[in-house]
Amino acid sequence: MKKLLTLALMLSFAFTGQAVMADGHGNGNGKGKGKAKGKPSFVDEKHRAHAEWKREKEEEKEYRKRMKKHDKDDDRDDDIWNRRRDEEARRDERKRDDERWERTREERSRRDESRRRENRSLGQIILEEATRKRTGTN
């Protein structure tokens, strides 16, 4: 009977030991590395939170980098448009100057032609030009 009780006691210790070991830290029961090393679960949460924060920080950094590049492209586009606008303004100014000179040339040629037709003498022409300059009429 003694042997039977000893055997029963040993079996109960074995089952109890197995149950305790199943609830222990080192069984890999889904708690992760922190539990396996004996760390409390809030440490894992802290590490997860830090990793998430770090990931968000990196994403924000990449976003700012892309936006900076985009802003530089916008600045280049603005420079290109400003240069085009300046070139167009210069071209228009040259065109107006050319038209003005063309009109003066035409007026001069008309005056010269009319003078030739009138058959005036050189003295008369000089006298007329001098009076025009004094009165300020063209």
Cβ atoms within 10 Å, residue 35: 19
72 in Cβ contact with 80 (< 8 Å): no
Tokens 């609830």 correspond to: 23
Q: What is the mean pLDDT of the chain?
A: 80
pLDDT in tens, 102-130: 888 888 888 887 767 677 778 887 888 88
Tokens 């009165």 belong to: 135
Per-residue tokens: 47: 């590490």
Residue 8 has pLDDT above 70, yes or no: yes
Q: Mean per-residue pLDDT for 8-18?
A: 85
Tell me if 19 sits within 8 A of 10, measured CB to CB: no
Round to whole Å and give the CA distance between 74 and 53: 31
